[in-house]
Amino acid sequence: MQGNALIGQSGGPTAVINSTLCGLVQQAEKSKNIQNIYGMRYGIEGFMKDEVSDLGSESPSVIQGLRSTPSSALGSCRYKVQDKDFPLILDQLKKYNIRYFFLIGGNDTMDTIHRVEKYCQDNNYELCGIGLPKTVDNDLYGTDHTPGYPSAARYVALSTQQSSRLAADMQRVDRYVIHQTVGRESGFLAAAAGLAKQHDSDGPHLIYMPERKLNKETFIKDATSIIEANGWVSIICGEGILWEDGTPVSASNTADKFSNIEFGAMGGSSAAMNLHKILSDETGYRGEFQITESLSMCGIDRASKIDLEEAYGCGVKAMELADNNETGIMVTLVRPTEGPYKTNYGTAPLMDVAVKAKPMPDEFINEAGNFVTPAFIDYLKPLVGDLGTFSVLQHQAAKAQ
């Protein structure tokens, strides 16, 4: 099938999403089936407004530089495609003779490409539609992990390691620190903070994930008991954690275009802020809260090396699948069942991936629901890499002269 390729990026950015774009463009340039390579400006929303760029006209050095460029070079959107949009989308595909359609994104993005590809089939327009995974939440079905997650996990782990060191040294001033991560329904990113804990006294001490509902009294008891025993406490929470009655700890009532509750700055409230206030009111202690929001989604200086390589490889794999006339699928990462970690690529049907969210497996969360298990550390460690260690003074008592 001869024609042009169209590439888009949707949803939140990652440190490595442009590495995927680079792999896809460079592999498409080798394809005998691709005549021109186009990019959507600001996702499917921009495409419907005829905002299309010619990626083939970019210099090779610029395309290569995408491998180490964070955020979304094409621009992104969070537009939910409506049934009324499909005739316009099809007209645009025909206008630019698009026969190869690629979207890089998460759950909602996979829903978009699945619906576009199906609409084209139903209307006798030959189109190859392939999704490329991306999300720091790590909640896509069908893949061991998603490009973007290892780098964001590394960012969280390093931030926790460093902020916990600060909190330990400042415990006579601030007795607790609460760090909020992104993750609406999935606790994978909050859980990544567990990599920072190398000794029992190290932070984090408590990790609260959306997969486990929180009891206010238990939270206060857990935190205060650690302060009494340790002098301070480091707490990590996912933005989407819920109380036992199902209400958000953030107390947010704001929803996005996909009917998802908005957390953090977008929701005008915060789980970390509310937990901070609860501890302050209960204990009278000073403390800090940290809400990084999108910083973990674009921290190229902390990117995981394996993440950068796998993201690029997903782009290459997607084009190889397209050249083999495969469609209606998403590229996946497959972990070997035995032996050391190595990267393998596979596929999953878009209809199985679209919209659904993958929670953390039960075996990754401890029985108390406030920390991760060794199984999770084993899962994440090869993806993130070494975090390094800090020196700790022994504080041997000085002798009076």
Catalytic positions, written as ranges: 137
How many residues are listed for the chain in this entry?
Answer: 401
| Residue 25 Cα to chain centre, angstroms | 22
The Cα-based distances of 356 to 109, 185, 254, 280, 398 in angstroms read 11, 11, 21, 37, 60
What string of DSSP letters covers 23-44?
HHHHHHTT-SSEEEEEEETTHH
DSSP E strands, 185-230: 206-208
- How far apart CA 352 and CA 354 sit, in angstroms, is 6
Closest CA to 188 of 235, 230, 236: 236
What string of DSSP letters covers 83-139?
GGGHHHHHHHHHHTTEEEEEEEESHHHHHHHHHHHHHHHHTT---EEEEEE--TT--
Q: How many CA atoms lie within 13 A of 4 on its CB side?
A: 19
Helix (H, G, I), strand (E, B) or coil at 206: strand
Burial of 400 (0-12, 13-18, 19+ CB in 10 A): exposed
Phi, psi torsion values for 271, nearest 5 degrees: -60, -45
Which residue has tokens 């990019």? 39
